[in-house]
Structure 1
Amino acid sequence: MAKSSSKKGLRGRAGRMQGGRGSGRATHGQVRLWGRHAVEAALKNPLRQHRKLWATREGVASLDGELPEGFPIEYAEVADLGRLVARDAPHQGLVLECDPLPDVYLDEVLNGEADRPVVVLDQVTDPHNVGAILRSAAAFGAAAIVTQDRHAPPESGVVAKSASGALEIVPWVRVVNLARALEEMAEAGYWRIGLAGEADAKFAEALPAGPIALVLGAEGEGLRHNIAGHCDALARLPIGEAMESLNVSNAAAIALYAVATRSG
């Protein structure tokens, strides 16, 4: 369990936001995470309440840091770990059971750093896509992602694995009413841009200076009419005619890059 003394303890990162209004339900019950990046990030997050780590000795050796003394760990074989997670899940010798993250509230995000975009997801339910969007949000400095509580995946091992550690970094706000959340963003001075393939304006043309809320809809259905109506502008990414659309996580990454590199 102990490793090289030159490594720092797995105690890491603080700063999740609590308090305020506009939060929906978070995940209830225990969460089981797997894979080195997801487990390591959770172990470094002081706001995670860890319950138990199942691991191979090789898995523990791969972690960047030392487990605290007395940390609840059970060593197991690879096949045994495979029975603790989804079928064929790439656990990499590490499975962590922990409590869900604390609720994050919208007003705390909106009162934060306005130069960082907020990503709003309208009924994006695929956990792989949400995880990939969290990863892009972390890479390009987004302040948070915002979803409706009833139409988004729960916090899970699949989301965490796809996010590659970003679940512990990017605040995830769950709201009861997404349209009302968009109204609150407008009141806070955010320009709300919805991505829509049928829009006339290209994304770069609709991108002003100032706070941005980037609004993306589910694959296939796109933005719901009411949510599109709560956007200040609709815009499309300039993709070639050979492809009708992009995966929502790819579209999010491109739009976040455009926001991060805009001039002015």
Structure 2
Amino acid sequence: MAQQEWLYGLHALQAVIEREPERLIELYVLKGRDDERLTKLVNQARRFGIAVQFCQRKTLDDKVAGEQHQGIVARAKPGKQLNEQDLDRIIERESVPFLLVLDGVTDPHNLGACLRTADAAGVHAVIVPKDKSAKITGTVSKVACGAAEVIPLIQVTNLARTLTEIQKAGVWVVGTAGEAEQDIYQAKLNGPIALVMGAEGKGMRRLTREHCDELIKLPMAGSVSSLNVSVATGVCLYEIVRQRTL
């Protein structure tokens, strides 16, 4: 049998059915729930010839290990995996590329939150290493609220080499590190840029750090030494957005 995955949540499934309905094999919907968005999704699925089953809540809970599914779960084919060649095309297409690099973010909730914020901020692509990084799963899609189906997620074999390649293409690579000498509000971040965020707790790997053009930090005034990676990503991305729109 071909590889399959479980997707769930209203926003995530709405995004799939609008962009890649051919991925959906079957919908499982909470029996007796009267919800306008749910009804709309079911009707769209039926128009595409996607099978729909109405189930008890426990059946849905069991399919997604108790995650918050909002009354709808889908059996689906995996989405297309993007690689370095796709990234090259994106950089060529955009006059002022805006990229987010996540170096070893392994928590699917953090990846989903980063994708959602990246989409909102207008990031053209999110880059992750193939190994030691969270992959697109039902949890990531649910947390991303549809962004996982929209924003290109590029999986690269060698992150350091990819950073070198995007630098050759004229993209300034800015890494975040607590020991950086200048904070984000002192840095010039308005040209072609790739923001590099490190993993939860550990930060960027040494080799990744060495391939950055510049290191910046977020000012921390309180007793907490660092922010959650998805929160820090949001702060950094929107400072870049502010500078790009000046």
The answer to whether the superposition gives a TM-score over 0.5 is yes
Question: 110, 118, 122: which one pairs with 1:137?
Answer: 118
* Corresponding residue for residue 74 of structure 1: 53
Output the CA distance in 2 between the equivalents of 1:204 and 1:47. 43
Matched, 1:62 2:26: no
Matched, 1:250 2:231: yes
* Corresponding residue for residue 101 of structure 1: 79
Higher strand share: 2
Output the CA distance in 1 between the equivalents of 2:70 and 2:113. 19
Matched, 1:225 2:232: no
Structure 2: gaps spanning 5 or more residues: none
Contact 1:47/1:102, CA 8 A, preserved across alignment:
no
Matched, 1:239 2:220: yes
Output the CA distance in 1 between the equivalents of 2:69 and 2:171. 39
- Length-normalised TM-score, structure 2: 0.90
Runs of 4+ in 1 over 4 A off after TM superposition: none
* Corresponding residue for residue 44 of structure 1: 18
Output the CA distance in 1 between the equivalents of 2:151 and 2:48. 28
Structure 1 segment 62-211 matched on structure 2, within 5 A = 62-63=37-38, 64=40, 66-67=43-44, 68-87=47-66, 89-104=67-82, 105-211=86-192
- Length-normalised TM-score, structure 1: 0.84
Give the superposition deviation at 1:91: 0.9
Structure 1: gaps spanning 5 or more residues: 1-27
Q: What amino acid does structure 1 have at the position aligned with 2:37?
A: S
Write the deviation string for residues 50-86 of structure 1: whole angstroms up to 9, x where unpaired: 1111112537742355321532111111121111112
Higher helix share: 2
Output the CA distance in 1 between the equivalents of 2:21 and 2:164. 30
Output the CA distance in 1 between the equivalents of 2:75 and 2:54. 14
Output the CA distance in 2 between the equivalents of 1:42 and 1:241. 41
Contact 2:174/2:216, CA 8 A, preserved across alignment:
yes
Output the CA distance in 2 between the equivalents of 1:69 and 1:110. 34
Identity over aligned residues, as a percent? 37
Contact 2:60/2:73, CA 8 A, preserved across alignment:
yes
